Structure 1
Amino acid sequence: MSRPVFRFAPSPNGHLHLGHALSALLNVRAANALNGRFLLRLEDIDLARCTPDLEQEMLEDLDWLGVPLEEPMLRQSQAFEHYRKALEHLQDLGLVYAAYLTRAEIRTFVADYESTGRHWPRDPDGAPVYPGDHAVLAEHERKARASSDAPFALRLNMAKALAKIGKSLSWQEGGSEGKALFRSDQKIEAKAADWGDVILARKDTPTSYHLSVVVDDARQGITDILRGQDLYHATSVHRVLQELLELPEPRYRHHRLILGVDGRKLSKSSKDTSLRSLRASGMTHADLRRRLGL
């Protein structure tokens, strides 16, 4: 039986916070407990925001946490060709289309629709499901944008994708901490239709999170994905893409989130919970583990 492979995949576009620390340490702990490997991946697609200085500071934070850094690290900015090939495969299957509606146009359409007392569906993250250009734009406007230099997103036609797969999908969900790591996995039904037509790439960005994460996990041979509960529902989309791209199906574990005083998930703008600010305030490694409940 091959060794399990775990990964931690932060974006060097800001400073790591307590939530990142929990995820990194849980992955390291799980890899050690199961005699597996732990890999670091840098999700640095956003070349404008992901800077060398932020990357170096992130690596310093991980070193302070005691997170092992196995070389070479996979950088998404060096993997665009892999994403392009995956996208082309989906295009060859006839499952990708260019979508030209702006966020403002989507908001206006949904507001007008709901002003009549009806409800427009939302995806699991709470965003309106994409209505389709035909629902908002006249035919001449759709043709004009398609023939011009207008910005667009490349979306997966979810209904066609699910029809092509032709079977129900699921994933294996295991425990994320302590003894739960060794419990039997649960079979979770994938409900990708709830997401509608997700974005796979944009005119100026060769990939999206959904596309790059499944391609990268396959390239790195990741067998066990341990990540935050905020990505639990996105697993449905990832299972669809894995099936369409004929990629291996990892096991999944979704851990608890660290919330701010306002009850919301931490973000990199939360300076008071950044690892660098906590270290500067005198927090020790042991203090951090106690705060995280580890």
Structure 2
Amino acid sequence: MNDYRGRFAPTPSGPLHFGSLVAALGSYLDARQAGGRWDVRIEDIDPPRCPEGASDTILRQLEAFGLHWDGPVRYQQTRGEAYAAALERLAKAGLAYPCSCSRKQWRDYPIYPGWCRNGPCKPEAPLAWRLRSDLGLRPVVWHDRLYGRQCLDPADLGDVVLKRKDALWAYQLAVVVDDADQAISDVVRGFDLLDNTPWQRQLQAALGLPEPRYLHLPLVIGDDGQKLSKQNLARPLPEDERVRPLLHQAIASLDQAPDPALATAPVEDQLAAAIANWTPSRMTAGSTSKAPDWPDA
């Protein structure tokens, strides 16, 4: 393998759906065509949202679709010490601060107003930790492999939470620390996460961490026109013979024009052809695809 290293990092709040499959598939194809490594990381930093057995279900679903990963699966619940060390560095540099404010208090503002930047308004209350988005790298400029040049100011997005009031770690800090620790060179994920990139690049710069390349994939939408997600009760993926036509449709959702003759071929054959023909430039920035239906078992 070369120095390419990709990853798929689902939150185990439920089983994978078709949109999850498209995201996993895009990152898998990109890594495999590059001759690189593809890791799976379970982002289980929010236990109340992660029902028992969901992680195992996700891993079984990936295997059913032929998406086999390299090396051991990483679980973020085991990574608290690394996140604490990163937060301590940010706090010492004046880039993170404790915050007592609740969402209800600033609900009339488009972003958090930064009321606790000079000290928590209520030091006796439970405290979260936020990133000083007005300091550090600004604006954030990067090249997305599909969407091209991006330029966003993190301060326009607000001071994102790094550690919650209930002492659970937040996504932005955990993903940055783990991407660096796992030497992730390429982040391939859905377009819905593109606007998270400025905070992540700001954290990477503040912590002296490498900056991966980014490729944000077109989204899959449901019948209601909304992004397919577990929150809107997207249908779980099957793990039986129905995976073959669904994998073919997932490849098509990435605008890769799979051979119709492979629509019911074994997943190994479909993936081999998709890897050989993977061409990200076929995708159209801003496009979406509809989630397919499939018969009940």
The answer to whether TM tops 0.5 is yes
Residue 158 (structure 1) aligned with residue 133 (structure 2) = yes
> Do the aligned residues in 1 keep the contact of 2:65 with 2:243 (CA within 8 Å)?
no
Identify the residue that residue 182 of structure 1 maps to in structure 2. Answer: none
Q: What is the CA RMSD across the aligned residues, in angstroms? A: 2.4
Q: Report how far residue 72 of structure 1 moved.
A: 1.4
Q: Report how far residue 206 of structure 1 moved.
A: 4.1
> Do the aligned residues in 2 keep the contact of 1:84 with 1:206 (CA within 8 Å)?
no
Q: Report how far residue 85 of structure 1 moved.
A: 0.3
Q: Structure 2 CA distance, aligned partners of 1:131 and 1:168?
A: 19
Per-residue CA distance 1:133-179 (angstroms, 9 max, x = gap): 379xxx9x93xx30x2x2222111222x23xx4x6532231139xxx
Match runs of 1:10-25 below 5 Å: 10-25=10-25
Match runs of 1:1-294 below 5 Å: 2-107=2-107, 110=108, 120=109, 128-133=110-115, 142=121, 145-146=122-123, 148=124, 150-159=125-134, 161-162=135-136, 165=137, 168-175=139-146, 186-271=148-233, 273-276=235-238, 283-290=242-249, 293=252
Amino acid corresponding to residue 193 of structure 2 in structure 1:
L
Counting aligned pairs with the same residue, the percent is: 37
> Do the aligned residues in 2 keep the contact of 1:80 with 1:206 (CA within 8 Å)?
no
Q: Structure 1 CA distance, aligned partners of 2:35 and 2:47?
A: 35
Amino acid corresponding to residue 5 of structure 1 in structure 2:
R
> Do the aligned residues in 1 keep the contact of 2:64 with 2:243 (CA within 8 Å)?
no
Q: Report how far residue 54 of structure 1 moved.
A: 1.1
Is there any run of 5+ residues in structure 1 with no aligned partner, and where? Answer: 111-119, 121-127, 177-185
Check 1:130–1:268 CA distance in 2 against 1; reply closer, same or farther (3 A cut). Answer: same
Query: With structure 1 as the length reference, what TM-score do the two structures score?
Result: 0.78
Q: Structure 2 CA distance, aligned partners of 1:102 and 1:250?
A: 33
Check 1:43–1:152 CA distance in 2 against 1; reply closer, same or farther (3 A cut). Answer: same
> Do the aligned residues in 1 keep the contact of 2:219 with 2:227 (CA within 8 Å)?
yes
> Do the aligned residues in 1 keep the contact of 2:15 with 2:236 (CA within 8 Å)?
yes
Q: Structure 1 CA distance, aligned partners of 2:164 and 2:42?
A: 20
> What SS does the corresponding residue of 2:205 show, helix, strand or coil?
helix
Q: Structure 1 CA distance, aligned partners of 2:215 and 2:250?
A: 22
Query: With structure 2 as the length reference, what TM-score do the two structures score?
Result: 0.78
Q: Report how far residue 241 of structure 1 moved.
A: 0.4
Amino acid corresponding to residue 185 of structure 2 in structure 1:
T
> What SS does the corresponding residue of 1:249 show, helix, strand or coil?
coil
Is there any run of 5+ residues in structure 2 with no aligned partner, and where? Answer: 257-297
Q: Report how far residue 274 of structure 1 moved.
A: 1.6
Q: Structure 2 CA distance, aligned partners of 1:51 and 1:18?
A: 20
Q: Report how far residue 58 of structure 1 moved.
A: 1.1
Paired residues, number: 252
> What SS does the corresponding residue of 1:225 show, helix, strand or coil?
strand
Q: Structure 2 CA distance, aligned partners of 1:197 and 1:216?
A: 21
Amino acid corresponding to residue 54 of structure 1 in structure 2:
A
Check 1:63–1:83 CA distance in 2 against 1; reply closer, same or farther (3 A cut). Answer: same
> What SS does the corresponding residue of 2:155 show, helix, strand or coil?
helix
Identify the residue that residue 268 of structure 2 maps to in structure 1. Answer: none
> What SS does the corresponding residue of 2:203 show, helix, strand or coil?
helix
Q: Report how far residue 271 of structure 1 moved.
A: 4.2
Q: Report how far residue 93 of structure 1 moved.
A: 0.5
Mean alpha-carbon deviation: is it higher for 242-251 or for 206-215?
Answer: 206-215
Amino acid corresponding to residue 156 of structure 1 in structure 2:
L
Amino acid corresponding to residue 285 of structure 1 in structure 2:
R
Amino acid corresponding to residue 105 of structure 2 in structure 1:
E
Q: Which has the higher helix share?
A: 1
> What SS does the corresponding residue of 1:103 show, helix, strand or coil?
coil
> What SS does the corresponding residue of 1:254 show, helix, strand or coil?
strand
Check 1:270–1:132 CA distance in 2 against 1; reply closer, same or farther (3 A cut). Answer: closer
Q: Report how far residue 237 of structure 1 moved.
A: 0.9
